[in-house]
């Protein structure tokens, strides 16, 4: 399995342009290596998740739309009901309760307006 520091973006990008079929084969092999390196009890779930990601990519009109939809999927699995954050809150007794929340602050001072008199 390649480590992040071993990933050569230019090589992958050039391959995608020059030979899309070879790029796809290499992408599938890299994904399978990552899934196979996972704990056996999680491999089926990882394959299901990859199937969902691939389905989103296929159904999206362009790569940016796919990226946004995949981001939304992972955000939901992290911050949504039954997501990673909720599980952390349960096992930690609420220590992670405010993680992911942005503090709300006013953007500007709000001035009271007096009623208009004609």
Q: pLDDT tens for residues 70-107?
A: 999 999 888 888 888 887 777 777 655 565 555 556 57
Write down the mean pLDDT value for the chain: 85
Separation between Cα atoms, residue 73 and residue 60, nearest integer Å? 13
Using the 8-state DSSP alphabet, how is residue 104 labeled? P
**Taken in order 33, 38, 43, 45, is the CA torsion positive or negative?**
negative
Contact, 100 vs 107, CB < 8 A? no
Q: What is the pTM of this model?
A: 0.64
Residue 115 DSSP class: P
46 closest CA partner among 34, 55, 29:
34
Structure tokens at 89: 């809150």
């Amino acid at each position: 399995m390649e480590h992040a520091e071993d990933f050569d973006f230019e090589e992958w990008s050039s391959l995608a342009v020059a030979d899309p079929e070879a790029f796809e084969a290499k992408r599938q092999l890299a994904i399978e290596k990552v899934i196979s390196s996972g704990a056996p009890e999680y491999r089926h779930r990882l394959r299901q998740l990859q199937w969902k990601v691939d389905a989103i990519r296929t159904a999206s009109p362009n790569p940016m739309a796919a990226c946004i939809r995949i981001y939304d999927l992972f955000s939901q699995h992290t911050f949504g009901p039954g997501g990673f954050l909720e599980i952390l809150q349960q096992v930690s007794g609420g220590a992670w309760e405010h993680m992911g929340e942005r503090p709300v602050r006013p953007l500007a001072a709000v001035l009271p307006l007096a009623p208009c008199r004609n």
